[in-house]
Amino acid sequence: MQIPANHPPIPPAKIGVLLVNLGTPDAPTPSAVKRYLKQFLSDRRVVEIPPLIWQPILRGIILNTRPKKSAKAYAKIWTEAGSPLASHTAAQAENLAERMKDVADVRYAMRYGEPSIDRQLAAMKASGCERILIAPMYPQYSGATTATVMDEAYRSLAGMRWQIALRTLPPYYDDPLYIAALKRSVEASLAALDFAPDVILASFHGMPQRTLDLGDPYHCHCRKTARLLSEALGRPLEVSFQSRFGRAKWLDPATDVTLERLAQEGKKKLAIFAPGFASDCLETLEELGIEGKHQFEAAGGTHFAYLPCLNSDAPGMDMLEALVRREISGWGYNNAAQH
């Protein structure tokens, strides 16, 4: 059938892959951090306190005090390429796009900040992506991470008259591909050290205890990741949870408390890594790599090493490519089905 001469151009139908990470301020300044925190901490999935109670606290206290302190922390890790989380996520998308250039249109978005999920989905749809895999970059599922990504994607679809079809990358906390990637990465990092650690600490991002009590599987996913990785490495791992905030009870044990305890118990040489983060960011580079080192050494530790996240290195990219190819296989286009 011949298309009428006056018909608007139609791009070829294709599959898209959208990697989604948490987000970051666009500069290490109090004003930029304030914009970012306002969006992040206004998410009902992140802070479940009723808005009538929470918003006055957020706007009246937190947004007038925390941005300045956080901006100083961001400044410690900022690079010529900008925020490490942004540059690593962009590199992951670029690497995956090259690996899958004949299969899918690969882009990335941030749940908070830019590029936004809404803008990226609209651009991908305009380019011909009729089927898009949303890939939250969170190995362990939580309502405050994976679920809020999907909430935002569905909000974007709600504004479309002609909606795209979506698939989602499931949490991969116990996937053999993920465990194998972590094993390769950790072993390579350990081999590069000039000391043999007495203990290896896996630090996951913390969550309020009530999330576990209400049925969020995050804590269980973290524990299973650590157990499987320990078995793969053939050595025990200590497990802790970082980034406590506010007065509520959070998942235990806390990373800062654990660092002090291990040093005081005579574990003087320590390596720490953050398996729940797909990309290095403020919480890994500053909170663990800088503040964690200070805490450990102040408690009597003598050797400390932070082991990097998977980032865009080969172990992580091999895993990500395999996971994505598996999820889009058989989705109806020949170029995808053949891979």
Please give the Cα distance from 252 to 111 (Å, whole number): 27
pLDDT in tens, 172-183: 999 999 999 999
What CA–CA distances, in Å, run from 231 to 139, 199, 245?
Answer: 18, 15, 32
116 close to 110: Cβ distance less than 8 angstroms: yes
Q: What is the pTM assigned to this prediction?
A: 0.94
pLDDT tier at 337, thresholds 50, 70, 90? very low
pLDDT in tens, 151-161: 999 999 999 99
Residue among 318, 200, 336, 198 at smallest CA distance from 266: 198
Write down the CATH number for the domain with range 14-28+78-171+316-337: 3.40.50.1400
Please give the Cα distance from 86 to 109 (Å, whole number): 9
pLDDT for residue 336 is more than 50: no
pLDDT for residue 144 is more than 50: yes
Q: Enter the tokens of residue 130.
A: 């009729």
pLDDT for residue 333 is more than 60: no
pLDDT in tens, 50-97: 999 999 999 999 999 999 999 999 999 999 999 999 999 999 999 999
Q: What is the four-CA torsion angle of 298, 300, 185, 142, rounded to 10 degrees?
A: -60
Q: Which CATH number fits domain 176-306: 3.40.640.10, 2.10.69.10, 3.40.50.1400, 3.30.750.200?
A: 3.40.50.1400
What CA–CA distances, in Å, run from 52 to 32, 56, 57, 65, 107?
Answer: 25, 7, 9, 20, 37
Instruction: Report residue 306: phi and psi, to 5°.
Output: -95, 125
Residue 31 has what pLDDT? 98
pLDDT tier at 128, thresholds 50, 70, 90? very high
pLDDT for residue 32 is more than 60: yes
pLDDT for residue 6 is more than 70: yes
Q: Enter the tokens of residue 205.
A: 């991002």
Q: Is 225 helix (H, G, I), strand (E, B) or coil?
A: helix
Cis peptide before 115 (omega within 30 of 0): yes
275 close to 139: Cβ distance less than 8 angstroms: yes
Q: What is the mean pLDDT of residues 112-117?
A: 97
Of the listed ranges 7-21, 70-84, 156-170, 279-293, the one predicted with least confidence: 7-21
The residues spanned by each domain of the chain are 14-28+78-171+316-337, 176-306
pLDDT tier at 338, thresholds 50, 70, 90? very low
Residue 339 has what pLDDT? 36
Residue among 182, 174, 112, 172 at smallest CA distance from 148: 112
42 close to 158: Cβ distance less than 8 angstroms: no
Tokens 């905030």, residue located: 245
Spatial strand order of the sheet with 129-136 comes to 105-112, 14-23, 129-136, 165-168
